[in-house]
Chains A and B, each alone.
Chain A
Amino acid sequence: MPAYNATFDSTPTFVPAIHVAIVEDDPDFRNALRTVVTATADMQVADVATTRAEGLAMLQGPPADVLLVDLGLPDGSGIDVIQAAVALWPSCNIMVSTNFGDETHVMRSIEAGAAGYLLKDSSPAKMLDEIRSLASGGSPISPIIARQVLARFRTIRTDNGDNPAPPQATTNANGPAAATSAAPTPLSAREKEVLDYITKGFNTGEIAALMDLSHFTVRTFVRRIYSKLKVTSKTEAIYEARTLGLLPD
Chain B
Amino acid sequence: MKPEPLVCCPIESPASHDIRMKNRSANLLSVLLLLASVALLIAVGAWYLQNDNAAEKTSLHLTQADWQERDSAAFVAPPASVASTSLSSYWQHSTLPGSLTPTPPLQDKTSASVRTTWVKLSMAGKTLPAGPLVLYGIRIKTDGTVAVYANGHLVHRLQAQGQLWSSLFTPLWVVLDQQDTAEPLQEIMIRVEHAANTPVALSSLWIGTPEALRGRYYLRQWLQRELPATLNAAFLVVGIFALCVWLRRRQETRYLLFFNLAAISFVGHLHYYVSLPILSGWFAWLTANALFWLLMVIHLFLCQLHGRRLFWLTRAIIGITLVSSILSSPIIDVLPVFPSTSLWVPLMYAIAVLMGLLVCIVGGISARHRSRDGVLLAAGVGVATLMGMSDWLLHNNIISPEGWFLGAYTNAITFFMFGTLMYRRYLHAIAEVEQVNASLAQRLLAREVELELSHQQLRAAAQRQTISDERQRLMQDMHDGLGSSLISAIRSVELGGVSESKVSQILKDCLDDLKLTIDSMEPVEADLLLLLATLRFRLEPRLEGSAIQLRWEVQELPTLPWLEPSSALHILRIVQESIANILRHTRADQIRVHTSHVSDGVTVTIDDNGQGFDVEQVMRNPAGRGLHNQQRRAQAIDGRVDWQSTSSGTRFTLWLPLQR
Interface residues of A (CB under 8 A from B): 1, 4-5, 100, 102-103, 121-123, 126, 142-144, 147, 198-203, 206
Residue in contact with A122 in the complex, picked from B518, B525, B541, B549, CB distance below 8 Å: B541
Does B529 lie within 8 Å of A199, measured CB to CB?
yes
Residue in contact with A142 in the complex, picked from B524, B537, B545, B554, CB distance below 8 Å: B537
Task: Tell me the nearest residue of chain B to A197, going by C-beta.
Answer: B533
List chain A residues, Cβ under 8 A from B541. 122-123, 126
Does A143 lie within 8 Å of B530, measured CB to CB?
yes
Q: Distance (Å) between the CB of A99 and the closest chain B CB?
A: 9
Task: Tell me the nearest residue of chain A to B518, going by C-beta.
Answer: A100
Residue in contact with B527 in the complex, picked from A103, A142, A198, A199, CB distance below 8 Å: A199
List chain A residues, Cβ under 8 A from B529. 199-201
Q: Distance (Å) between the CB of A152 and the closest chain B CB?
A: 13
Q: Which residues of B in the span 530-576 have a Cβ within 8 Å of any Cβ on A?
A: 530, 532-534, 536-537, 540-541, 544-545, 549, 552, 554
List chain A residues, Cβ under 8 A from B527. 147, 199
Task: Tell me the nearest residue of chain B to A121, going by C-beta.
Answer: B511
Q: Distance (Å) between the CB of B431 and the closest chain A CB?
A: 47
Does B530 lie within 8 Å of A144, measured CB to CB?
yes
Q: Distance (Å) between the CB of A135 and the closest chain B CB?
A: 21
Proximity string of chain B (83-96) to chain A, C-beta cutoff 8 Å, 1 when within and 0 when not: 00000000000000
List chain B residues, Cβ under 8 A from A100. 514-515, 518
- Tell yes or no: B480 within 8 A of A by CB: no
Q: A100-B515, A103-B522, A199-B529 are in contact. Are A4 and B534 (CB under 8 A)?
A: no
Residue in contact with B554 in the complex, picked from A1, A126, A200, A203, CB distance below 8 Å: A200
Complex Cα distance, B525 from A123, in Å, reads 31
List chain B residues, Cβ under 8 A from A200. 529-530, 533, 554
Does A202 lie within 8 Å of B552, measured CB to CB?
yes
List chain A residues, Cβ under 8 A from B549. 1
Task: Tell me the nearest residue of chain A to B555, going by C-beta.
Answer: A200
Complex Cα distance, B190 from A113, in Å, reads 126
Residue in contact with A121 in the complex, picked from B508, B532, B593, CB distance below 8 Å: B508
List chain B residues, Cβ under 8 A from A103. 522-523
Q: Distance (Å) between the CB of B219 and the closest chain A CB?
A: 78
Complex Cα distance, B552 from A199, in Å, reads 13
Complex Cα distance, B519 from A103, in Å, reads 9
6 CB < 8 A contacts A-B = A103-B522, A143-B534, A144-B530, A147-B523, A200-B554, A201-B537
Does A203 lie within 8 Å of B508, measured CB to CB?
no
Q: A4-B544, A142-B537, A203-B540 are in contact. Are A147 and B525 (CB under 8 A)?
A: yes
Does A201 lie within 8 Å of B518, measured CB to CB?
no
Does A201 lie within 8 Å of B554, measured CB to CB?
yes
Task: Tell me the nearest residue of chain B to A198, going by C-beta.
Answer: B533
Task: Tell me the nearest residue of chain A to B525, going by C-beta.
Answer: A147
Does B515 lie within 8 Å of A142, measured CB to CB?
no
Complex Cα distance, B508 from A108, in Å, reads 27
Q: Distance (Å) between the CB of A129 and the closest chain B CB?
A: 10
Q: Distance (Å) between the CB of A211 and the closest chain B CB?
A: 15
Does A102 lie within 8 Å of B522, measured CB to CB?
yes
Complex Cα distance, B532 from A198, in Å, reads 11
List chain B residues, Cβ under 8 A from A102. 518, 522
Classify the secondary structure of A's interface with B: loop
Complex Cα distance, B555 from A202, in Å, reads 11
List chain A residues, Cβ under 8 A from B519. 144
Number of B interface residues in the complex (CB < 8 A): 26
Q: Distance (Å) between the CB of B456 and the closest chain A CB?
A: 27
List chain B residues, Cβ under 8 A from A147. 523-525, 527, 530
9 closest cross-chain pairs (CB), A and B: A201-B533, A143-B533, A201-B536, A144-B522, A142-B537, A200-B529, A143-B534, A100-B518, A199-B530
Complex Cα distance, B515 from A100, in Å, reads 6
**Apart from A201-B536, A201-B554, what are 13 other A-B pairs with CB-CB below 8 Å?**
A103-B522, A103-B523, A121-B508, A121-B511, A122-B541, A142-B534, A144-B534, A199-B529, A200-B530, A200-B533, A201-B532, A201-B552, A203-B536
Q: Distance (Å) between the CB of A221 and the closest chain B CB?
A: 17
Q: Which residues of B in the span 489-519 have a Cβ within 8 Å of any Cβ on A?
A: 508, 511, 514-515, 518-519
Q: Distance (Å) between the CB of B546 and the closest chain A CB?
A: 12
Does B552 lie within 8 Å of A206, measured CB to CB?
yes
Q: A102-B518, A102-B522 are in contact. Are A199 and B533 (CB under 8 A)?
A: yes
Complex Cα distance, B402 from A96, in Å, reads 119
List chain B residues, Cβ under 8 A from A144. 519, 522, 524, 530, 534
Task: Tell me the nearest residue of chain B to A143, going by C-beta.
Answer: B533
Q: Distance (Å) between the CB of B514 and the closest chain A CB?
A: 8
Q: Distance (Å) between the CB of A74 and the closest chain B CB?
A: 23
List chain B residues, Cβ under 8 A from A123. 541, 545
Q: Distance (Å) between the CB of B60 and the closest chain A CB?
A: 95
List chain B residues, Cβ under 8 A from A1. 549
List chain B residues, Cβ under 8 A from A201. 529, 532-534, 536-537, 552, 554, 593
Complex Cα distance, B651 from A84, in Å, reads 53
Task: Tell me the nearest residue of chain B to A148, going by C-beta.
Answer: B523
Does B544 lie within 8 Å of A5, measured CB to CB?
yes
Complex Cα distance, B549 from A200, in Å, reads 18
List chain A residues, Cβ under 8 A from B523. 103, 147
List chain B residues, Cβ under 8 A from A121. 508, 511
Q: Distance (Å) between the CB of B557 and the closest chain A CB?
A: 10
List chain A residues, Cβ under 8 A from B518. 100, 102
Complex Cα distance, B524 from A150, in Å, reads 13
Interface centre among A4, A102, A123, A201 (most CB of B within 10 A): A201
Complex Cα distance, B534 from A102, in Å, reads 11
Q: Distance (Å) between the CB of B174 and the closest chain A CB?
A: 91
Q: Distance (Å) between the CB of A154 and the closest chain B CB?
A: 11
List chain A residues, Cβ under 8 A from B522. 102-103, 144
List chain A residues, Cβ under 8 A from B525. 147
List chain A residues, Cβ under 8 A from B537. 142-143, 201
Complex Cα distance, B505 from A123, in Å, reads 13
List chain A residues, Cβ under 8 A from B515. 100
Complex Cα distance, B538 from A203, in Å, reads 12
Q: Distance (Å) between the CB of B111 and the closest chain A CB?
A: 111
Complex Cα distance, B508 from A201, in Å, reads 22
Task: Tell me the nearest residue of chain B to A4, going by C-beta.
Answer: B544
Complex Cα distance, B554 from A200, in Å, reads 8
Q: Distance (Å) between the CB of B631 and the closest chain A CB?
A: 25
Complex Cα distance, B511 from A123, in Å, reads 14
Task: Tell me the nearest residue of chain B to A200, going by C-beta.
Answer: B529
List chain A residues, Cβ under 8 A from B534. 142-144, 201
Complex Cα distance, B595 from A202, in Å, reads 13
List chain B residues, Cβ under 8 A from A199. 527, 529-530, 533
Complex Cα distance, B545 from A1, in Å, reads 18
List chain A residues, Cβ under 8 A from B514. 100
List chain A residues, Cβ under 8 A from B533. 143, 198-202
Task: Tell me the nearest residue of chain B to A102, going by C-beta.
Answer: B518
Task: Tell me the nearest residue of chain B to A5, going by C-beta.
Answer: B544
Q: Distance (Å) between the CB of A128 and the closest chain B CB?
A: 14
Q: Distance (Å) between the CB of A5 and the closest chain B CB?
A: 7
Q: Distance (Å) between the CB of A130 and the closest chain B CB?
A: 12
Task: Tell me the nearest residue of chain B to A119, going by C-beta.
Answer: B541
Complex Cα distance, B518 from A103, in Å, reads 10
Complex Cα distance, B534 from A100, in Å, reads 12
Task: Tell me the nearest residue of chain A to B534, going by C-beta.
Answer: A143
List chain B residues, Cβ under 8 A from A143. 530, 533-534, 536-537
Q: Distance (Å) between the CB of A151 and the closest chain B CB?
A: 8
Q: Distance (Å) between the CB of B558 and the closest chain A CB?
A: 14
List chain B residues, Cβ under 8 A from A203. 536, 540, 552
List chain B residues, Cβ under 8 A from A5. 544
Complex Cα distance, B552 from A206, in Å, reads 9
Proximity string of chain B (335-375) to chain A, C-beta cutoff 8 Å, 1 when within and 0 when not: 00000000000000000000000000000000000000000
List chain B residues, Cβ under 8 A from A202. 533, 552
Complex Cα distance, B533 from A123, in Å, reads 21
Q: Distance (Å) between the CB of A155 and the closest chain B CB?
A: 14
Task: Tell me the nearest residue of chain A to B517, going by C-beta.
Answer: A100
Task: Tell me the nearest residue of chain A to B521, going by C-beta.
Answer: A102
List chain B residues, Cβ under 8 A from A122. 541
